[in-house]
Amino acid sequence: MYKKILVPVDLSHMDKIPKTLSTAIDMAKHYQASLCYVTVTNSTPGAAAHNPKELAEKLAGFAHEQGQAHGIKTDAKVLESADTAVELDSKLLGAIKDTGADLVVMASHTPGLGDKLHLLRSNAAEIVKHSDISVFVVR
């Protein structure tokens, strides 16, 4: 049913998405699909890496480790952005098309006061609204 699953990750917040990673791995095994881990970054140093090249190396290493540990095919893609807060959704939608993914498995943030006051928007909701493929949102 699914051949390529896109999994957006932030290497500086891996502690917050173990359930998402497990879900993606289980689905990849079940459907014999490959996983493509993707992250969006800007050129300034961040918590996960000093620059996009270093981040790409770390993400590729993470993808390789996941593939070896779980017996699945994986790859990694780092997308650069001038402003990740503004361009995150459009970059992820572009990655869906560029990779040929037919499913996205992504984390959702826990709803809080910012959501109730409509101060925050959900990246997962934007991907669901604007994507032509299925999106599995893990909370």
pLDDT digit string, tens, across residues 84-120:
888 999 999 999 999 999 999 999 865 554 444 444 4
How far apart are alpha carbons 67 and 64 in whole angstroms?
Answer: 5
How large is the average pLDDT for residues 64-69? 98
Tell me the pLDDT of the chain averaged across its residues.
90
How large is the average pLDDT for residues 64-78? 98
pLDDT band (50, 70, 90) for residue 62:
very high
**Does 81 or 85 have the greater pLDDT score?**
81
C-alpha dihedral sign at 56, 80, 139, 27: negative
Whichever domain contains 118, its CATH number is 3.40.50.620
Report the number of distinct structural domains present in the chain. 1
How large is the average pLDDT for residues 15-34? 97
How far apart are alpha carbons 113 and 129 in whole angstroms?
Answer: 23
How far apart are alpha carbons 125 and 139 in whole angstroms?
Answer: 12
4-8, 43-47, 76-80: segment of lowest average pLDDT: 43-47
How far apart are alpha carbons 133 and 121 in whole angstroms?
Answer: 20
**Does 108 or 131 have the greater pLDDT score?**
131
pLDDT of 44: 80
How far apart are alpha carbons 45 and 115 in whole angstroms?
Answer: 29
Residue written as token pair 């361009």: 87
Enclosing H/E stretch for 28? helix 18-31
How far apart are alpha carbons 107 and 105 in whole angstroms?
Answer: 7
As a dihedral over the C-alpha atoms of residue 18, residue 23, residue 29, residue 33, rounded to 10 degrees, the angle is -100
**Does 115 or 40 have the greater pLDDT score?**
40
Expressed as residue numbers, the domain containing 8 is: 4-138
